[in-house]
Amino acid sequence: MGALFNEPMRVETVSAQGADHWVVGLVGTQSEKFRKATLTSADLDTLTIIQPGFTYDGDGNLLRLGLQAYSLGIAYEFDPYLGLSISRVDPLPHQLEAVYDYLLKLARVKFLLADDAGAGKTIMAGLLIRELKLRGLAVNSNQFTVKASRSSVWVENHRGFVRGSADVRLDINF
């Protein structure tokens, strides 16, 4: 700012026009209007720098941590099987097909997962819940119907999947 401008200006571009002249592209910080001005060395001496350019004195470790957190937040966009790659299970092909090719592609994930005994419904439910959480699609309410003889095993196996959900209901089927 100085006698040449009526508001603080942000420098956008600078190009030399001879030995003592510069064409400067400026944007008003209040009006957001762009203007070009030709300035000489004498004009530059009358200007006051209000805020210097960027400083690079921040903590590099915090920057790296922030970038890693951001990349993990969008990782599912680049790895469609993110939940699987960080799980400790080896699902069968029909389980992958059910979760990734059908259930996750639904506009609204609301369904009944039923299959033959031993077909891997527990693994499918766990993968689905993990993927929904990783993608930021909040799993607000879950209802699970489990055979009575498997209820304690099921709860123990899914403790990590259902933790943090607002409402988890377990119905025991006798």
Judge whether residue 1 has pLDDT over 50. Answer: no
pLDDT score, position 103: 83
Residue 153's alpha-carbon distances to 112, 115, 150, 157, in angstroms, are 20, 18, 5, 6
pLDDT score, position 158: 65
169 pLDDT tier (thresholds 50, 70, 90)? low
pTM attached to this predicted model: 0.47
Cα maximum dimension of the chain: 91
Structure-model confidence comparison of residues 31 and 144, the more confident one = 31
Report phi then psi at 162, rounded to 5.
Answer: -95, -10
pLDDT score, position 65: 92
pLDDT score, position 174: 45
Judge whether residue 164 has pLDDT over 80. Answer: no
DSSP letter assigned to residue 77: H
39, containing H or E segment: strand 34-40
Could you tell me the two tokens for 158? 């899914």
81-108 average pLDDT score: 81
